[in-house]
A = this chain, B = another copy of it.
Amino acid sequence: MKHNIALIVSYDGTAYSGFQSQPNQTTIQGKLTAAIESITNHEVILHGSGRTDAGVHSHGQVVSFQTNRLLAEERWPFALNGFLPDDIRVRRAIEVPQDFHARYSVVEKTYRYYVTNSSVPNVLLRHMQYHFPRTFDEIEMRRAAQVLEGTHDFRAFCAKRSLKENNVRTIYNCDIHKIENGYCFELRGNGFLHNMVRIIVGTLLRVAEGKKSAEWVREVLENGNRTSAAPTVPAYGLQLWSVKYDLFNSE
């Protein structure tokens, strides 16, 4: 009998060339597949909820694979963590129905982007918080964030080489939480284009520093031109926070 196993995986993306396996590159998918195969003793095909770029972190990435190996749900994390480097941890395993697929069954995703907003960066969090030592107009920025909520064609907020035929996505929430010496941007949506969160955050920071207005963000969204939006902020501030399925939420 085949078992379909979903794993909730956190990782520090600093040392990796992204999630997806590539020849001669150290990747999250490569490390996970090797660890799983050490236990299953047969080849597995690992599906992720989606890719994360080089340097991007994860709190709640979800992967799934089929195996003949029978192991209790609570045993999988301990067994796998023994084979994984200490910057990748399996937080939980769930035996899911045969028709569950880490990517196709996604209902909703949440990303977080962390920004340090003080004159000097926090040394202990320098690998996970983008240092933005400028003025921060929170009110206008929140107004701009609201412009982005809802269903829109987000082609202006997508890496050009990755544009698809359909670039319409829905952002349910674009929240900004105050944290110690900074801000956490939390975006929840039904799907995200390539670099979308990092371009949105860069654009909102333009508004925060007073160089642009919320009205400008509306214009960028409407004209659909990538070059109108702000540059992509660095990967290391980003975390794939959670993935929601009908069966569970990986938060």
User: Chain A: residues with CB nearer than 8 A to chain B?
Assistant: 10-12, 57, 77, 81, 86-91, 119-124, 126-128, 239
Contact = CB atoms under 8 A, between A and B. Distances in A.
A11 B10 CA distance: 25
A138 to B, nearest CB: 23
B124 A127 contact: yes
Contacts of A128: 124
Contact of A123 (B12, B77, B119, B123): B12
Nearest to A121: B89
A120 B12 contact: no
**Across the A-B interface, the 7 shortest Cβ-Cβ residue pairs:** A12-B123, A89-B120, A91-B120, A10-B123, A124-B128, A89-B123, A12-B124
Given A10-B122, A88-B123, A124-B239, 16 more contacts: A10-B120, A10-B124, A11-B123, A12-B124, A57-B123, A57-B124, A81-B120, A86-B123, A86-B126, A87-B123, A89-B120, A89-B123, A90-B120, A91-B120, A124-B127, A124-B128
B77 A120 contact: yes
Nearest to A12: B123
Nearest to A74: B119
Contacts of A90: 120
B88 A119 contact: no
A41 B128 CA distance: 35
Contacts of A91: 120
Contacts of A119: 77
Contacts of A88: 123
Nearest to A86: B126
Interface centre among A11, A86, A124 (most CB of B within 10 A): A124
Contacts of A77: 119-120
A57 B123 CA distance: 9
